[in-house]
Amino acid sequence: MSEVDDTQTLDREQLRRLFDLRSSYNAHSGGDYTDDPYPMWAQLRARAAVHEGTVHELTGHAGAASFHGLPFPDRPHFSAFSFASCDTAYRDDEVFASSPDAAGPEADDISVTSSMLSMGGARHRRYRSLVQPSFVPAKAQWWIANWIERTVHLLIDGFVDDGRAELNVDFAAAIPVLTITGSFGVPVEQALVIRESLQRPMEIVEMLEPIVAARREKPRDDLISVLVEAEYTDDDGVTHRLSDAEVYSFAMLLLAAGSGTTWKQMGITITALLQRPDVLAAVREDRQLLRSAIEESLRWMPTDPMFSRWVTRDVDFHGVQLPRGAVLHLCIGAANRDPARWVRPEQFDVRRAPKPTLAFGSGPHICIGMHVARAEMAVGIGALLDRLPNLRLDPDAEPPRFIGMYERGATAIPVLFG
Amino acid sequence: MPDQERTREIAVDRELCMGSGMCIVYAPGTFAHDEATKAIVIDPMGDAIDAVRIAIEACPTGALSLTSEEERG
Ligand code: SF4
Residue A158 has pLDDT above 70, yes or no: yes
C-alpha A404 to ligand 1 mean position (Å): 32
pLDDT at A110: 56
Write the residue in A356, A364, A371 that is nearest to B18 by C-beta.
Answer: A364
Cβ pair A87, A330 in contact under 8 A: no
- Alpha-carbon distance values, A114 to A93, A209, A242, A245, A261 (Å): 17, 18, 14, 10, 20
Q: Whose CA is nearest to atom 2 of ligand 1?
A: B59
Residue A283 has pLDDT above 80, yes or no: yes
C-alpha A98 to ligand 1 mean position (Å): 20
Closest CA to A264 of A351, A171, A384, A338: A171
Q: Whose CA is nearest to atom 1 of ligand 1?
A: B59
**Distance between CA A274 and CA A196 in Å, rounded?**
30
How would you write A85-107 as a 3-class SS string?
A: HHHHHHHCCCCEECCCCCCCCCC
Ligand 1 atom nearest B21 alpha carbon? 5
Q: Do B18 and A361 touch (CB under 8 A)?
A: no
Closest-CA distance of chain A to residue B11, Å? 19
pLDDT at A147: 92
Residue A107 has pLDDT above 70, yes or no: no
Q: Whose CA is nearest to atom 4 of ligand 1?
A: B20
pLDDT at A26: 66
**Distance between CA A66 and CA A15 in Å, rounded?**
23
Work out the widest C-alpha separation in chain A, in whole angstroms.
Answer: 66
Residue A282 has pLDDT above 80, yes or no: yes
Cis ω before A71 (30° cut-off from 0): yes
Residue B26: strand, helix, or coil: helix
pLDDT at A1: 40
Q: Whose CA is nearest to atom 8 of ligand 1?
A: B17
Write the residue in A128, A137, A364 that is nearest to B21 by C-beta.
Answer: A137
Q: Which residues contact A95 (CB under 8 A, 6 or more apart)?
A: A89, A311, A312, A313, A315
Cα atoms found within 13 Å of the Cα of residue A400, Cβ hemisphere only:
30
Q: What is the rounded average pLDDT of the residues A101-119? A: 57
Ligand 1 atom nearest B19 alpha carbon? 5
Q: Do B32 and A138 touch (CB under 8 A)?
A: yes
- Give the chain B residue whose CA is nearest to the CA of A126: B18
Point out which residues pair with B12 in neighbouring strands: B64
Q: What is the rounded average pLDDT of the residues A155-161? A: 92
Q: Do B33 and A138 touch (CB under 8 A)?
A: yes
Instruction: Say which residue, A211 or A198, is predicted with more confidence.
Output: A211
Point out which residues pair with A4 in neighbouring strands: none
User: Which residues of B touch chain A, with CB atoms under 8 Å apart?
Assistant: 18-22, 24-26, 28, 32-33, 37, 50-51, 54, 57-58, 60-62
Tens digit of each residue's pLDDT (9 = 90 or more) over B22-46: 999 999 999 999 998 999 999 999 9
Residue A202 has pLDDT above 80, yes or no: yes
Closest CA to A31 of A258, A303, A389, A327: A303
- Using DSSP bridges, classify how beta strands A392-393 and A402-403 pair: parallel, antiparallel or unpaired: unpaired
pLDDT grade for A265, boundaries at 50, 70 and 90: very high
Q: Do B60 and A362 touch (CB under 8 A)?
A: yes
| Amino acid letter, residue A76 | P
- Give the chain B residue whose CA is nearest to the CA of A372: B21
- Give the chain B residue whose CA is nearest to the CA of A369: B20
**What's this model's pTM, rounded to 2 decimal places?**
0.91
Residue A47 has pLDDT above 80, yes or no: yes
Of the ranges A9-18, A199-208, A247-256, A338-347, the best mean pLDDT one: A338-347
- Give the chain B residue whose CA is nearest to the CA of A356: B58
Residue B1 has pLDDT above 80, yes or no: no
Q: What is the rounded average pLDDT of the residues A320-340? A: 97
pLDDT at A58: 95
| Amino acid letter, residue A136 | V
Q: Which residues contact A180 (CB under 8 A, 6 or more apart)?
A: A254, A255, A258, A259
Q: What is the ipTM of this complex?
A: 0.89
Tell me which chain A residues have a C-beta less than 8 angstroms from the C-beta of B20: 132, 366
Least confident window among A2-6, A75-79, A361-365? A2-6
Q: Phi, psi at residue A75, to the nearest 5°?
A: -110, 150
